Structure 1
Amino acid sequence: MTNTETIDAIVIGGGAAGLNGALMLARSRRSVTVIDSGSPRNAPADGIHGLLGHDGTPPADLLRTGRDEVQRYGGRIISGEVIGAVPADGAFAVTLAGGETLRARRLLVATGLRDVLPDVPGLARHWGHGVVHCPYCHGWEVRDEPIGVLAVGPASVHHALLFRQLSDDLVYFTRDTGLDEDTRTRFAARGIRIVDTPVAAIESTEDGEIAGIRLADGEFVPRAVVAVATSMQARVEGLAGLALPMEDLPNGMGRRIASGMAGTTAVPGVWVAGNATDLSAQVGASAAAGALAGAHLNADLVAADTDAALLAYRAEVLR
């Protein structure tokens, strides 16, 4: 089923970036629809942290408030999954899993990212609770706990030093990632124990909490928290038809949608905001990026509307 109406903008993704972008557009009296798959990255977290005025707010509560604000200004929210998006006769056609196709003059992609965890048995089941990745998002909540840091490439050295700020009891598991002597000395100076034996599994208590880390030689290292730097992959499922340029970040950090100022992309008429392009952005930064992209998208539409009005005006005067 194709909706023949062409609206001003479709926002793909209903997280902080997408909703704030939609809010800016709706407040500019633009017809805007947000398509939200309902699977935000921070869903497992108990609360948002580091966002002034909202510290500790459950993620679902913030999104609920954001949806209400967008709808208050006439924006539309659709729960659904995008399976296709392509340029179509000077606009864009976006197809949902249910078969409906929507048309819009411009697109804002705010699909977020997917965290890819290392393949360690028992790790994934604790993701977002006992297994954490960001010292700024979760660090205060795990302060003074016995923390184990699983190495995932060179960036994990910095990761370990950040978590050492939060706990005196830190063990770094190299997982076959080489550590030079200077780094080993720096860790020793900070009281960080280094374990070179391969990790076999993360083990749990009877209550379902993390008990510790089992090594390949059978040794068990008690830990209450495991910190791990994930590989972050922009979510682009269903967007292949837009041919958005992608970019790999160094040190295996992940893959993002390449963007310029205010979320512009190499595809005319398409903007991107939030974790889909800025893999390290927290909720506040993602929301701000969405607002900026929405404002620039609106300005682009204003210019297009003015050009069209000028052509019509000249045609009328010359008639």
Structure 2
Amino acid sequence: MTKSKELIPDVLIIGGGAAGLSAAQMLGRSRRSVVVVDSGEPRNAPAEGVHGFLSRDGIKPADLLAIGRDEAESYGAAFVRGRVLAARGDVDRGFEVTLDDGTQLRGRRLLVATGLADELPAVPGLRERWGKDVLHCPFCHGWEVQDQAIGILGNGPWSVHQALLFRQWSRDITLFLNNRVVPSDAEAEQLAARGIKVAAGMVESVRVEEDRLRGVAVAGGPDVAVEALVVGARVKARLEAFAGLGLAPSEHASRMGTYLATDADGATSVPGVWAAGNVTDLKAQVLASAAAAAWTAVVINNHLMAEEMAADLAAYRESLSLSGA
């Protein structure tokens, strides 16, 4: 008796955030079998709400993901909780991932939607306020802190731009140079023209009272009162588990972190492996990540369809040859 061919899911999706869920929904609607591996550690978990997402503005991150999981499951997607430690395989044999509990999962194609990790400066008290009143994006959080005293923590060449940008949301802006930022003459003039204060010296800590940010402690000077603090954190693509496939991070031109390079459709340099969401696009907000992943899912489906068509065509031609037609 001929042994039946092992049935494996069409697509393994690594990451259960907005990108991974959007891809799972689209692939499910395409009648593809999908398994989503989710470590349960979304990058935006500390945030009080998701903003700039049409029809879902202000929704809690956990609630958005719960809705997305329900929708993906309604189209047949399966979910596995775990962290991927290693991956191997190729487009011909399929791909296999090993989870932290030893579980091994296989798929014909692989979609990496693992997102980014924020690397915050080592300032005492900063991480505890991350996503609350320590934030990074004016388009995500600027409305919520409008007209407040906002500090910009100097952390790289982009900090001056952040200060000038947040000036649109408040007239009370202070740029903390933090021994990391030296504005050029042109930048200093721009800061002065916009009425942005500049504080020299190393930032030592943040002051919190009654569960609210109240100020920033600067070496050699008095605390500076702020109600929100902006941090341009470096980001790191979560790719360690995929080194065995030959996937490696690239440094972004902005010098703000690393990402996984893909083509416009999300295809990586490894045939059969795609990526979507923040892992490949540092600037993408939640809605953009979901949209990009939906398109990448379409491309993956078409790639699978082409493979299936080739196999069916070969079998059809063989049957004709055997029948003498």
What TM-score, normalized to structure 1? 0.96
| Secondary structure of the corresponding residue to residue 187 of structure 1 | helix
Map Cα deviations across residues 173-224 of structure 1 (whole Å, 9 max, x no partner): 112211112111111111100112221211211x132120111104111111
Equivalent residue, structure 2, for 1:150: 153
Residue pair 1:5, 1:103 contacting (<8 A) in 2 also: no
RMSD: 1.2
SS at match of 2:9: strand
Residues 1-28 of structure 1: per-residue CA shift (max 9 Å, x gap): xxx5421100000111001111111111
User: Is structure 2 residue 121 aligned with structure 1 residue 109?
Assistant: no
TM alignment of 1:134-283, pairs within 5 A: 134-176=137-179, 177-205=181-209, 207-283=210-286
Query: In the alignment, residue 19 of structure 1 is paired with which amino acid?
Result: L
| Aligned equivalent of 1:54 | 56
Structure 1: segments with no counterpart, 5+ residues:
none
Residue equivalent to 1:63 = 65
Aligned identity (percent) is 49
Tell me the amino acid that sits aligned with residue 36 of structure 1. D
Count of residue pairs the alignment pairs up: 315
Distance 1:262 1:58 in 2: 29
Task: Write the distance in 2 (CA, Å) between the matches of 1:249 and 1:18.
Answer: 22
Q: Whole-Å Cα distance in 2 between the matches of residues 25 and 236 of structure 1?
A: 23
Following superposition, the deviation at residue 237 of structure 1 comes to 3.3
Q: Distance in 2 between matches of 1:306 and 1:261?
A: 24
Query: Secondary structure of the residue that 1:276 maps to in structure 2?
Result: coil
SS in 2 for 1:54: coil
Runs of 4+ in 1 over 6 A off after TM superposition: none
State the match for 2:14 in structure 1. 12
Q: 1:312 aligns with which of 307, 310, 315?
A: 315
SS at match of 2:27: helix
Q: Which amino acid aligns with 2:56?
A: H
**Cα distance in 2 between the residues matched to 1:47 and 1:149:** 21
SS at match of 1:274: coil
Point out where structure 2 has 5 or more consecutive residues left out of the alignment.
1-5
Q: 2:202 and 2:98 mapped to 1: Cα distance?
A: 46
